[in-house]
Structure 1
Amino acid sequence: MIWQYIKERLSWILFFLAMQCLLVFYSFIDPNLTVSSILYFIYLSSSIFTIFLVFRHFLETKFYKRLKERSEILDTSELADPSSPLEEIVYDEFIEQTNYYKKRSTYHQLMLEQEKDDLLSWIHEIKTPLTAMQLILDRMDNKQTQADLQYEWLRIHYLLDQQLHQKRMLVIENDLHLDNVDIKQLIHNEIRTLRSWCLHKGIGFDIQIDTHNLVTDEKWTSFILRQILSNAVKYSEHSDIEIQYYKTENHTALTVKDNGIGIPNKDIPRIFDKGFTSTATYHNDTSGATGMGLYLAKKAADSLHIRINVESEEGVGTTFTLLFPEKNTFAQLREQNASM
């Protein structure tokens, strides 16, 4: 901070140097003054001025150094006490502004919490008429109309589900519950939800699962699978989706492979970005894409320490691979994050 201080006091330094030059000039025009005595006086005064400048540097920059080195923006406990009237003005204004922004931050936080609670309440309430609609759809005689309405119902259901999990994502660490999960049953439950859509598009499933148990959070793992499976169905037509779950010496893996239209190579690095939708032009099923499904799935997977790998070839299909941590690895990673 020494250069900033010199810039701040540059006018004083220039004024002092100008006075020294004036004194030398005066010694030349006044025969009663000797140049040697004037130079000696300049030497002494310059030495004293330099010592004074260094002393004032340490004294005056202490307050601003502490101001600059604060670890948190709204934390005033690390500020040094003001040592001059001008620093007192800065200190008082800073405290006043900090308190104001703390109050505003608290207010907005409360409003956001209230908005989140209201939205979650609304989502839960809207599920009741959705359930009633599902019962009505099951009793319809016109199969074509039933299939069309079933698809639109499913879209609403998934959009509400995304919104619900998006709001919960902020507190996901407090929402996780690790347990032994039957991964086969989990997959069948998600496929059952997609049944009408799959029948409408002529899509089947080839499920190959060697072992059933997996240590993870059932609710969030279901959400991740929901986004991947719905994407596989959305971008496929009259083909099978292959699902494999297996264990090796190094990891536990689940692959979801479709034979759909695939993802352009330039889009693959961005498919997990918030709000990103494909740059390619696809059929009507993708016109309402929000770009939030895979983004939220990746966020949830990161919290569960699940790696998601994607391989795709345009016009051939896409393979999503979920690599799950072992139970002991999961516990170690959670402990490391908790200690950070």
Structure 2
Amino acid sequence: MKKVKRDIVLFFLPCLAYHLYFLLLVEAVSIWDLMYLNVLLLVCFGIYLGIRIYRLSKRERKKNDYMESEGTIAEELRDYENVEIALHDQQILNRQLEEQRECMCGLQDYITKWCHEVKIPLSAALLVNERMEDEKERQQMKEPLEKIRRLLNDALSGCKIQSQMFDLQIRPVHLKECVRESIRNQQFFLIQKHFTLDIRVEDVMVYSDSEWLIYVMDQLIGNAVKYAKEEPKLIIWAEEKPEKIQFMRRIYDKGFTGSNHRDGQYKSTGMGLYMVSQILHKLEHQIEAESEYGVYTRFTITFTDHRKFFHL
């Protein structure tokens, strides 16, 4: 009704102005003429006001009907200037967002539970595989089992990263131990692809989360395995610079092109390096990639020296 009040004020102000004009400045003006003019104006304004109130009431009823709906209404009421509409849509969108979040959390919980359930028969299958007497058959069976194990670990890690329960434990970590653990995790595929290893990592301490750092190394070494061709070589070394430590991993393949997937030999989702970048961002580490086509690919992870911060 604010608009109706505004219209009434805008009507009476000009009326007052012309009354004062005629009464004070115009001589021999007839009071009856003014009365007749006032009645005529009031009738016209009354008709206008009635139509105005009817339209506003109709709009208000339409808005109230939409306000009871479960969907957003801003598109249908784009001509309305009302904070209630914006608040209504905000509440609807917040509720939809919360429902989607709960759905995603439920899906993550289901995937996590499913992965843990699958790990039990997978471990049993790996144990049975180790007891097979035929070496050739044992190796043939172990490869898909190891791939399943790696994919399960990737799925679990992906759920943890996206979860609100993602937890980091930053503490001094022996970089050499993390490298060894990652090599052990990938040893089957490294041996299968006949990798030559050159590890030059001293007993360097960095501030990181050992679990996630090992996962990052697993992904990078796994990439080397996926794209390996003839005489692959994996070089890992670390060098300390002022206030930072650089850990480098280099893949050297004879005739390496890094495009196996385009030849149909390997299908990649591209999620591995994405997960690596997400984890390192959360760990506040930096990663850089350098590649020479057909020669090598090198990833450099930079750890900032936080010893001064911890007064060590």
TM-score above 0.5 = yes
**Residues 102 and 239 of structure 1: is their aligned pair in 2 closer, same or farther, counting only changes over 3 Å?**
closer
User: How far apart, CA to CA, are the structure 1 residues paired with 2:264 and 2:198?
Assistant: 25
User: How far apart, CA to CA, are the structure 1 residues paired with 2:191 and 2:125?
Assistant: 19
**Residues 96 and 128 of structure 1: is their aligned pair in 2 closer, same or farther, counting only changes over 3 Å?**
same
Alignment of 1:2-41 (within 5 A): none
- How much has 1:91 moved relative to structure 2? 3.2
Query: Partner of 2:225 in structure 1?
Result: 233
- How much has 1:174 moved relative to structure 2? 4.8
**Residues 160 and 206 of structure 1: is their aligned pair in 2 closer, same or farther, counting only changes over 3 Å?**
same
* 2:231 partner SS: coil
**Residues 330 and 104 of structure 1: is their aligned pair in 2 closer, same or farther, counting only changes over 3 Å?**
farther
* 1:176 partner SS: coil
Alignment of 1:85-96 (within 5 A): 87=81, 90-96=82-88
Answering whether residue 228 of structure 2 is matched by residue 249 of structure 1, we say: no
User: How far apart, CA to CA, are the structure 2 residues paired with 1:282 and 1:192?
Assistant: 30
User: How far apart, CA to CA, are the structure 2 residues paired with 1:179 and 1:149?
Assistant: 39
Query: Partner of 2:68 in structure 1?
Result: none
Kept in 1, the 8 Å contact 2:197–2:233? The answer is yes
User: How far apart, CA to CA, are the structure 2 residues paired with 1:120 and 1:201?
Assistant: 31
Within the candidate set 136, 140, 149, 1:157 is matched to 149
Within the candidate set 260, 275, 278, 1:299 is matched to 278
User: How far apart, CA to CA, are the structure 1 residues paired with 2:308 and 2:261?
Assistant: 39
Query: Partner of 1:316 in structure 2?
Result: 295
Alignment of 1:35-184 (within 5 A): 87=81, 90-171=82-163, 174-184=166-176
* 2:262 partner SS: coil
- How much has 1:225 moved relative to structure 2? 0.5
Query: Partner of 2:73 in structure 1?
Result: none
* 2:284 partner SS: coil
**Residues 302 and 330 of structure 1: is their aligned pair in 2 closer, same or farther, counting only changes over 3 Å?**
farther
Within the candidate set 180, 205, 215, 1:223 is matched to 215
User: How far apart, CA to CA, are the structure 2 residues paired with 1:207 and 1:149?
Assistant: 29
- How much has 1:255 moved relative to structure 2? 1.1
User: How far apart, CA to CA, are the structure 2 residues paired with 1:123 and 1:181?
Assistant: 28
Residue-by-residue CA offset, 1:145-199 (whole Å, 9 max, x unaligned): 3223222222222222222222222347851101121221211112112222222
User: How far apart, CA to CA, are the structure 1 residues paired with 2:160 and 2:149?
Assistant: 17
* 2:200 partner SS: strand
- How much has 1:280 moved relative to structure 2? 5.9
Greater C-alpha Rg: 2
Letter in 2 for 1:156: I
TM-score by length of 2: 0.66
- How much has 1:109 moved relative to structure 2? 1.6
**Residues 257 and 173 of structure 1: is their aligned pair in 2 closer, same or farther, counting only changes over 3 Å?**
farther
Letter in 1 for 2:241: T
- How much has 1:143 moved relative to structure 2? 2.5
Residue-by-residue CA offset, 1:303-339 (whole Å, 9 max, x unaligned): 11211111212221211111111125887xxxxxxxx
| Structure 1, unpaired ranges of 5+ | 1-85, 265-277, 332-340
Q: Which deviates the most, 224-233 or 200-209?
A: 200-209
* 1:199 partner SS: helix
Residue-by-residue CA offset, 1:211-244 (whole Å, 9 max, x unaligned): 2322210111111101001111222243331111
User: How far apart, CA to CA, are the structure 2 residues paired with 1:263 and 1:302?
Assistant: 28
User: How far apart, CA to CA, are the structure 1 residues paired with 2:264 and 2:196?
Assistant: 20
* 1:327 partner SS: coil
Letter in 1 for 2:236: I
- How much has 1:283 moved relative to structure 2? 6.7
- How much has 1:263 moved relative to structure 2? 5.2
Query: Partner of 2:262 in structure 1?
Result: 281
Residue-by-residue CA offset, 1:253-307 (whole Å, 9 max, x unaligned): 111112125456xxxxxxxxxxxxx5863573x23x2210011001111111211
**Residues 141 and 107 of structure 1: is their aligned pair in 2 closer, same or farther, counting only changes over 3 Å?**
same
Letter in 1 for 2:237: Q
Q: CA RMSD in A?
A: 2.8
Residue-by-residue CA offset, 1:24-52 (whole Å, 9 max, x unaligned): xxxxxxxxxxxxxxxxxxxxxxxxxxxxx
- How much has 1:209 moved relative to structure 2? 1.5
Q: Which deviates the most, 148-157 or 179-188?
A: 148-157
